[in-house]
Amino acid sequence: MRLGALLLAAATALPLPAAAEAIVAELSQTRVSITANFDGSEILVFGAVKREAPLPEGELDVVITVLGPLEPIVVRRKSRVAGIWVNTASVEVDAAPTFYAIATTGPLAAVMSDTEDLRHKVSIARAIRSVGAPQDVTDSESFTEALIRIRQDTGLYQLEEGGVRLKDATLFDTAFALPANLTEGEYRTRIFLTRDGTVIDRYETTISVSKVGLERYLFALAHDSPALYGLLSLLIAIAAGWGASSAFRYLRR
């Protein structure tokens, strides 16, 4: 019995064999700077599949995701009451990505099994964490669906099935369009290599998104010294109004 336990311990201590196929990838940029005139950006993700053996059998696919910072959010439902639209129900989503994009070599359900999707939380619905809902709300799923629909319309949630190009089962690339209304933070980028729907390797890196210059200064001022920020905003508004009034009087002469 003791010898069996020792053999088991020795076996578990051995390093796992290297994957027969591994991802080698790179990003066109790992830092995005938000300036006063920032109107969006584009990230190119490209790479190759490294092999130590002949190409195995089975369908090879690639799934790439970019996940922005998570935040809690309250989703409200409006209903018409006595001819007036009012909030009648709400559900608090515990953690929703501020930005989430998925690109695949084919339909997501075909390139990644439901079990793998559940394990890695790849699909948009599974990337959102909503633990509970008020007892009077019986259709909490519809609130999550509404959040996804709204953010898809604004470009914050993206699903590009077939958006990844895979050449000769070796080289792959895709591009993600980052909208202008990005949230600061670390954007988690994941690449999954799947065969017949099963994940055989994964690669992960991050993209840093931050405000710089005047945008950074005003953001910090608004959060660290809101009273001073409000006073400066008032003074700027007064100065702008006075300047516009003076210019108008001068033009009328």
The pLDDT value recorded for residue 204 is 96
Residues 174-177: contacts with CB within 8 Å, 24+ apart? 174/44, 174/45, 174/46, 174/64, 174/103, 175/42, 175/43, 175/44, 175/45, 176/42, 176/43, 176/45, 176/66, 176/101, 176/103, 177/40, 177/42
- Residue 62 to residue 162: CA distance in whole angstroms: 10
The secondary structure of the chain in percent helix, strand, coil, rounded to multiples of 5, reads 30, 40, 30
The predicted model scores a pTM of: 0.74
pLDDT band at 247 (very low <50, low <70, confident <90, very high): low
Rg (CA), the chain: 25
> Of 187, 186, 159, whose CA–CA distance to 174 is shortest?
159
Tokens representing 151 are: 């953010």
- CA–CA separation, 253 and 207 (whole Å): 56
| Exposure of 229 in the CB half-sphere (CA atoms within 13 A) | 10
Name which residue leads in pLDDT, 193 or 81. Answer: 193
- Report pLDDT digits (tens) over 171-195: 999 999 999 888 899 999 999 999 9
Cα 99 from Cα 105, distance rounded (Å): 21
- Choice among 11-20, 82-91, 156-165, 197-206 with the minimum mean pLDDT: 11-20
Quote the pLDDT of residue 15: 44
User: pLDDT band for position 128 (50/70/90)?
Assistant: very high
Confidence bin at 17 (pLDDT 50/70/90): very low
Mean pLDDT of 10-38: 74
Rounded Cα gap, residues 139 and 142, in angstroms = 6
Kindly report the length of the chain.
Answer: 253
Report H helices in 70-154: 108-111, 114-120, 124-127, 140-153
Of 63 and 83, the structure prediction assigns the larger pLDDT to 63
Q: Give the mean model confidence (pLDDT) for residues 30-34.
A: 88
